[in-house]
Structure formats: C-alpha cells, structure tokens
Chains A and B, each alone.
Chain A
C-alpha cells in the first residue's frame, strides 16, 4: 500500500495568498484527519471526516480555514487568506472504523512570509 499521500511536501507563500493542501488516504480507510504541528502548540487535531462527512471541526482555528472531502480518496485543507502564524507542518492521517491505528502522511511544511 502506498500509505497516506500528501501534497505538496513544502509550500512557501506570502501573507494574504490562498493555500491548498491535499491528501489521499489509504484505500479502504473511512476516517480522515487533519492535524497541525507547531512548536508552541504541539500536535493538534483540526478536523476529521467519517465517510466523507465532517464529524468534528472544533479544532479549526477560524473561518480562514476550510476542509473538504469530495470523495473517499481525496481531501483538501484550504487557508484563505494565509497569515504568518499559519506556518506549521500539516499532517493528514487515516484509519478504519474500529480500534485501528491512525496512519500519518509525510506532512506538508507551510511557510507564510
């Protein structure tokens, strides 16, 4: 299996620009998670989906962040407009229903100048 795939691996953008991060979960997994990792806040869950439906978005910082999952094999996390404080590593993870383990993608390192 190819594992969880994220793109891009690195993104550098300027403040005010729109940023779109992409994720392809492991085939057959019906849960998808977006995490953000920063030095100050550690790893925090932003949002997760079950069968393409958002279940818990309480970790989404503000309206500038949005996430979609149009089908079982693709999800996006969008930041518009981006700000320097959004600089972080963003991880996507997936798992199956039940007591299964979450498998993480390689992450996207976002730098907002």
Chain B
C-alpha cells in the first residue's frame, strides 16, 4: 500500500523568508500524481500545487514550488517570501495514475508565520 510521510509536525518561519516542507512517499508505481494541499483555520482544503510523476520539471505556482526527486521518492514544498496568510496546515498527498482516484494523505505540517 502506498504511504505518505511528513516528518515535520510543525514548522515556523519569519515573514518574507523562505521555508521548505518535507514529504516522502512509498510506492511501486511509476505513474502517479503528487499534491500539496493547504488547510487554513477555516478548515477548507485548498490545492496549492500538483506534480505529475512523468514530468521531470518541478511544478511552480507563484511563490510556491516543489522539489520532486522521483528516485528518492521525495516531494518537498518551498514557500518563498512567506506571508501571514500562508499560516496553515499543509498536507502532502499521493494519487496513483491510470484512472485511480484515491488520495493518500500525509499527517500534515503546521506552518506558523512569525511577523
């Protein structure tokens, strides 16, 4: 079974600084998708960024980028120029490809932004 591990229960960063959240996963599949979701205090799950495993180029979305290391099964999220609104729980998630739809989530990392 696929598993997703986030080894940092909590992280904090100064406003305007850069922070990296870690995620590793375990799978025997070659075709899959990886996601980072953000859950602010409102508890709404918001997609931050996604990565297709077949793509070698790391995904970027404005201040958010990933470092996807397929051989190492690592998928870290980098937040640049951190803002107070980035404070939230961040979840890494895995989805097998080829028509599968089930998302497997990590345990989450709580990110605090210090003004």
Residue numbers of A with Cβ under 8 A of B are 31, 33, 42-45, 48, 50, 55-56, 89, 91, 93, 95, 97, 99, 101-104, 106-107, 109
Contact = CB atoms under 8 A, between A and B. Distances in A.
Of A55, A99, A103, the most chain B CB neighbours within 10 A belong to: A99
A60 to B, nearest CB: 14
B7 to A, nearest CB: 14
B43 A48 contact: no
Given A42-B108, A99-B52, A99-B97, A89 B103 contact: no
B102 A107 contact: no
Contacts of B83: none
Interface string B79-92: 00000000000010
A48 B102 contact: yes
Contacts, number: 45
B43 A107 contact: yes
B44 interface: yes
Contacts of B33: 99
A56 B102 contact: yes
Interface of A is mostly: strand
Interface in B5-59: 33, 35, 37, 42-47, 50, 52
B45 to A, nearest CB: 4
Contact of A45 (B91, B97, B103, B106): B103
18 contacts: A31-B101, A42-B105, A42-B106, A43-B105, A45-B102, A45-B103, A50-B101, A55-B101, A91-B45, A93-B45, A95-B101, A101-B47, A103-B47, A104-B45, A104-B46, A106-B42, A107-B44, A107-B45
Interface in B60-115: 91, 97, 99, 101-108
